[in-house]
């Protein structure tokens, strides 16, 4: 059974903290993605990566960075968390040549207080 696993289901952090969201996939996929999901807005792409150490900005990269040191792991970093980053964060992976056939993790609900 294929899996994309996000390290936390729920997180509560304080404003200004550095926050790490971790995602691991076991399907040997080249592509990995980080989205945020807010009510009424659907999913918005933050960053994606098509290879180790490679990253591309999505639609809303401001306030975020990412790290992909190993093929199976893609980390989302909030350098200084703010309340407007309270959201559901979803990680996904897909094969290189079938980029839209994505598999998703269970999501991390982050609350910044």
Partner 1 sequence: KQEVTQIPAALSVPEGENLVLNCSFTDSAIYNLQWFRQDPGKGLTSLLLIQSSQREQTSGRLNASLDKSSGRSTLYIAASQPGDSATYLCAVSPDSNYQLIWGAGTKLIIKP
CA terminus-to-terminus distance, the chain: 36
13, 61, 77, 104: residue in contact with partner 1 (rule CB under 8 A): 104
The partner residues of 48 in beta bridges, in order of sequence, read 33, 56
21, 24, 32, 33: residue in contact with partner 1 (rule CB under 8 A): 33
**Distance in angstroms (rounded) separating the CA atoms of residues 11 and 83:** 13
- What is residue 85's three-state secondary structure? helix
- The answer to the question of residue 61 lying near partner 1 (CB under 8 A) is no
- The answer to the question of residue 11 lying near partner 1 (CB under 8 A) is no
For strands 64-70 and 19-25, give the pairing.
unpaired
**Closest approach of Cβ 19 to partner 1, in Å?**
20
| Count of residues interacting with partner 1 (CB under 8 A) | 24
Question: Contact 103/94 with Cβ under 8 angstroms?
Answer: yes
Q: Which stretch binds partner 1 (CB under 8 A): 12-20, 37-45, 60-68, 75-83?
A: 37-45
Residues that bind partner 1 (CB under 8 A): 4, 9, 33, 39-45, 48, 58, 90, 92, 97, 99-107
């Amino acid at each position: 059974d294929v899996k994309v696993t996000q390290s936390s289901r729920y997180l509560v952090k304080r404003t200004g903290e550095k926050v790490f969201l971790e995602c691991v996939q076991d399907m040997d996929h080249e592509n990995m993605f980080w989205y945020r999901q807010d009510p009424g807005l659907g999913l918005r792409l933050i960053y994606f990566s098509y290879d180790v150490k490679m990253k591309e900005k999505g639609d809303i990269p401001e306030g975020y960075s990412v790290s992909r040191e190993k093929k199976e792991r893609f980390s989302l970093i909030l350098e200084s968390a703010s309340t407007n980053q309270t959201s559901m964060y979803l990680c996904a992976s897909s094969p290189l040549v079938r980029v839209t056939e994505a598999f998703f993790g269970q999501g991390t609900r982050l609350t910044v207080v």
